[in-house]
């Protein structure tokens, strides 16, 4: 079983969207994705309703609450995909060969157009990534 983890700052938008999309689009049951954030605290334990609505409208389902990425958790994965432009890849300096970075900007929770455009960007990248695994 190959395991992939999508990572962003708070695990409440970009990485959660990528996880939901990957797990629906990927047909290889030997590959599973999860997600986590580098900075998860009590102020970030929810997914924005607008994100849930937009994802649901597109046929995806976000599951689970945001969770913290720890070193022990990261070591359990074969591939780490940073779905953010605000996380330094050097944080993962000793995971050589396991890290990809998609430089995707975060959005203000009230910026519907930014959220829709970002979801479009993530969907395209996930589709391309899934195709590369086939």
Give the C-alpha separation, 95 to 92, whole Å: 5
The one-digit pLDDT tens for each residue of the chain (134 residues) are 999 999 999 999 999 999 999 999 999 999 999 999 998 887 768 898 999 999 999 999 998 899 999 989 999 999 999 999 998 777 888 887 799 999 999 999 899 999 999 999 999 999 999 999 88
With H, G, I as helix, E, B as strand and everything else as coil, classify residue 103.
coil
CA angle 132, 82, 75 (to 5 degrees): 90
Record the pTM: 0.94
């Amino acid at each position: 079983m190959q395991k992939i983890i999508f990572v962003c700052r708070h695990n409440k938008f970009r990485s959660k969207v990528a996880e939901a999309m990957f797990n629906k689009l990927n047909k290889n049951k030997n590959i599973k994705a999860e997600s986590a954030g580098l900075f998860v605290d009590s102020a970030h334990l929810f997914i924005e309703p607008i994100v849930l609505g937009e994802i649901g409208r597109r046929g995806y389902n976000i599951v689970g609450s945001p969770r913290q990425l720890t070193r022990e958790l990261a070591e359990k994965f074969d591939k780490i995909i940073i779905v953010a432009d605000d996380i330094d890849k050097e944080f993962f300096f000793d995971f050589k060969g396991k890290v990809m970075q998609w430089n995707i900007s975060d959005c203000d929770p009230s910026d519907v157009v930014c959220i829709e455009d970002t979801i479009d960007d993530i969907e395209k990248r996930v589709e391309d990534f899934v195709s590369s695994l086939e």
